[in-house]
Amino acid sequence: MRKFIAFCIGLGLVGAVIGWFVSAPSPVVAAGSESLEQGGDAARGKLVFNAGGCASCHATPEQEDRLKLGGGYELKSPFGSFFAPNISPHPADGIGKWKVADLVNAMQAGVSPSGEHYFPAFPFTTYAHAKIEDIRDLMFYLRALEPVAGKAKAHTVGFPFNIRRGLGMWKLLNHDRAPIVADPSKDAAWNRGRYLVESLGHCAECHSARDFMGGIIGKYKFAGGPDAEGKDWVPNITQHKDGIADWSVKDIAYMLKTGDTPDGDSVGGEMNKVVKNMAELNDSDRDAIAAYVKSFPAKESPPKPEKK
C-alpha cells in the first residue's frame, strides 16, 4: 500500500512538472528584439488598427476621441471583469517602450514582454493569424498616437481564473497560431476578406457560441450565441434562414459602412462600435469582407436559453 501511495504521489509530481512545462508561455520572437524595427508604415498601420477594432476596447471610455488609448473599458464576464489596459505610447503607463517584437508576441502568442500569458478577453486567439508585417505597421501607427497618462484598474477576475500560468493549458486547446494560407480556387477579394475576418476583424469572437471553457464551438462558429456577459444574444451571420441568407454582398458591405440593415433598421450594441471601425476602411476591404461573409455555409443557431 505504501508503495502504491508513493507511486501515486510520484505520478502526481510528474504530472505537475509536465503541466508546468506545457503551460509555459511560448513567444514568437525574443522579447525586446530589434529584428523587426525596420520598414514599418504607419499609414498602412491605421488600416490594421481599424480592421482590428483596437479602439473598441482600448479607447478611454466617456470621452469622444477613439484614438486616446488610455484603456479602462470594462469587459464583463461570468468570472469577473477585465479592464482593457493603456496601449497609448505613454512610456510608463502605456506601451511606449515596446518593440515591434513585443506587440507580435502579445497579438500572436498572447504573451507579455515579461513572459506571462494574457487572458483571451484580449482576442489574441484570432489576432494570432495576423501577418507579422501588419503587426509591425500597426506598431508604427500606435507610436504616432497621443500618449495618455494613467493606468487602467486591475482585473477583478476571481480564483482560479486569475492565475495566468493556468492559461497555458487553455491555450493548448484553444490557441491555434497557424497562418492563413490563401485558397487558390477563390478570387483575391474572397481571400482578402477571409484574412480580414479570420484574423484582424475577429468577427467569430462575438458571433459564435462557446463551450464551458470559453472555446469557440466549431459547428456554431458564426452561427451566433450569447454575448460575453451571457445576457444578450449575438445574431447568426451564416447563410441559414435564421441568419443573413436574405442579405446580398452589397447589403453586408453597406451595413459595415453605415450600420444600416436591409430591413431599414440599424445595428446597435457592440456592433455599433464594429461599424465605427469598419467605416474607416476602404470600400474594397469592406466589399472583400462582405464577399467572404456571404460565402459562409448555412449553420443552425445554437439553442437559446429560455427567457426568464
| Site residues, ligand HEC (CB under 6 A) | 52-54, 56-58, 75, 82, 84-85, 87, 95, 103, 106, 112, 118-119, 121-123, 127, 138, 197, 201-203, 205-207, 234-235, 237, 244, 252, 255, 261, 267-271, 274, 289, 293
Comparing CB distances to ligand HEC, the nearer of 127 and 170 is 127
Nearest approach in angstroms of CB 307 to ligand HEC is 16
**Residues whose CB is less than 8 angstroms from the CB of residue 46 and which lie 6 or more positions away in sequence, other chains included:** 141, 280
Comparing CB distances to ligand HEC, the nearer of 82 and 195 is 82
Nearest approach in angstroms of CB 204 to ligand HEC is 8
Distance in angstroms (rounded) separating the CA atoms of residues 51 and 199? 9
Comparing CB distances to ligand HEC, the nearer of 100 and 121 is 121
Nearest approach in angstroms of CB 19 to ligand HEC is 20
Nearest approach in angstroms of CB 169 to ligand HEC is 16
Comparing CB distances to ligand HEC, the nearer of 81 and 186 is 81
Nearest approach in angstroms of CB 278 to ligand HEC is 6
- Residue whose entry in the numeric block shows the C-alpha cell 508513493: 6
Contact 111, 27 (CB under 8 A): yes
Distances (CA, A) of 139 to 83, 121, 192: 21, 20, 21
Q: How far apart are the first and last CA of the chain?
A: 53
C-alpha cell at 92: 510608463
Nearest approach in angstroms of CB 257 to ligand HEC is 12
Comparing CB distances to ligand HEC, the nearer of 2 and 249 is 249
- Residue whose entry in the numeric block shows the C-alpha cell 495566468: 164
Exposure string (b/e) for 56-85, b if CB count within 10 Å is 16 or more?
A: bbbbbeeeeebbbbbbbbebebebeebbbb
Distance in angstroms (rounded) separating the CA atoms of residues 74 and 154? 10
Comparing CB distances to ligand HEC, the nearer of 18 and 144 is 144
Comparing CB distances to ligand HEC, the nearer of 186 and 262 is 262
Please report, to the nearest 10 degrees, the dihedral formed by the alpha carbons of residues 159, 160, 166, 169 taken in order. Answer: -150
Provide the CB-side half-sphere exposure for 71 (13 A, CA).
Answer: 21
Nearest approach in angstroms of CB 118 to ligand HEC is 4
